[in-house]
Chains A and B, each alone.
Chain A
């Protein structure tokens, strides 16, 4: 009897701990949980807020954690919707991915950097460390400081695919784990060059033209600026109920308009925004 009680206690504690340690986030009862990419999170948060304003009885919980964490959460059922800023990998193809909006990637330098324009080939050479000094690009004789995102990041994956191709990003590049951190490093270091979401470019850094084409919404929608990637919502099966309703709202003109105001790019025919993305 005594022993039985003790081992039951131990089991109890063990199960409790397992529950804490198991990956993924706990299901929020009575609402829709949306988990994943930190790149998508702020936008999904804004959408959820707007949606809840219109449907006061519904609850949507948006959480970050990363694309992989979100996909994992959808798979285990911990969340109904995953957010991903990278494409699904082959092992994840059993899930359903819906592009909700598009995001461009801008190559940024310090705002005092005289350089305005690089070709794709130059960027490729810079990030693979074939070009290592600004003088090779017509600047001062200073070493380049490369700043990149970490392995697994959706932004890095898109940059790799859209710009680097088969070339590898130099191992010597500084690695920062968010768009904001890259912007911070580039804003502080005159010799730095990095890449972030166009929507997050502000006046502390300068977004370069690529092959003479400025990264702005018009150029992106006309497919002239091509460093563009989708933001995905990931589902385990065809979305139903609240999940479907939320997705429909996001894909509706109202939802898309909200995202465009945040600096993202809708590929649907929607009213052209008045200003370029600045935030």
Chain B
């Protein structure tokens, strides 16, 4: 075999192994989770609001709602900040300063989530408890921390899409007499829309998938949350917090929760892919 062939084969192997990992994980999750969904019934699994695995009630509706609120909250915090930061980095400050700031933002993405969680637990939670009441371990605390955690994703992808715009857009707008701000707001942001939307969806994926930090600061109660100060449990934390002691149907129910997550994340990622493709075309 020639050297080139060997290289080709080894790359093929590497590519195959990463795909087969995905396939194996998916297979395992489905094999473990689907029988329980079948047994409980899809409706009562997805829409049931009582989670008492020891009493055979497996309703994950509160977790779906919890995931929804926490993710929405994180977007409310993270999207305006992230997009504004991307505009700032690419339009409003000299490139040299942006070169210093950019690695710092990337560093934000490299901080392990457990540290965000710990920070939230020690700083945010007591602050919320003492100033707003409630247990402090709440959707509000979770949203704030997640909002910060998704910033790097939103900033870097939004910035890339702003930077990828042809220079002529900006030059054209400015030469027509638009101010810098009008150019940004009316020309650049709409033109980079697809990239920005994709960044938001990817950030959303990260927010839904986050586990460790959320276990630490959401309080993990299994009731339907009724305010942003009440505790909640997300789909991921449901798995994370109970896997240690789960067995039998309970364990399968956690895998079934994983199946639901799998579909949500897959949906979001495909959406991001479609939107960014459309933008490029």
Contact B248–A91 (Cβ < 8 Å): yes
Chain A interface residue bracket vs B: 35 or more
With both beta carbons as reference points, the residue of chain A lying nearest to B242 in the complex is identified as: A150
Asked if A67 meets B223 with Cβ closer than 8 Å, knowing A151-B54, A152-B53, the reply is: no
Contact A176–B17 (Cβ < 8 Å): no
B residues at A contact (CB < 8 Å): 9, 12-13, 16-17, 20-21, 24-25, 28, 50-55, 62, 125-126, 129, 135-137, 215, 219-223, 230-231, 233, 240-248, 250-251
Chain B residue numbers with a CB within 8 Å of A153 are 244-245
Contact B135–A175 (Cβ < 8 Å): no
Chain A residue numbers with a CB within 8 Å of B24 are 14, 17-18, 21
Interface hits, A61-95 → B, CB 8 Å: 64-69, 71-72, 86, 89, 91-92
Select which of B9, B50, B231 is within 8 A of A174 by beta carbon: B231
- Residues 35-73 of A, flagged 1 when their CB comes within 8 A of B and 0 if not, give 001100000000000000000000000001111110110
Select which of A9, A154, A160, A188 is within 8 A of B13 by beta carbon: A9
Asked if A172 meets B221 with Cβ closer than 8 Å, knowing A9-B13, A145-B135, A152-B54, the reply is: yes
Contact B53–A189 (Cβ < 8 Å): no
Shortest distance from the beta carbon of B11 to any chain A beta carbon, whole Å? 13
Chain B residue numbers with a CB within 8 Å of A72 are 247
Asked if A151 meets B248 with Cβ closer than 8 Å, knowing A17-B21, A21-B28, A66-B243, the reply is: no
Select which of A67, A175, A192 is within 8 A of B222 by beta carbon: A175
Contact A177–B231 (Cβ < 8 Å): no
Shortest distance from the beta carbon of B139 to any chain A beta carbon, whole Å? 13
Chain B residue numbers with a CB within 8 Å of A13 are 13, 16-17, 20
Asked if A89 meets B248 with Cβ closer than 8 Å, knowing A151-B53, A171-B223, the reply is: yes
Contact B244–A65 (Cβ < 8 Å): yes
Shortest distance from the beta carbon of A96 to any chain B beta carbon, whole Å? 17
Contact A151–B16 (Cβ < 8 Å): no
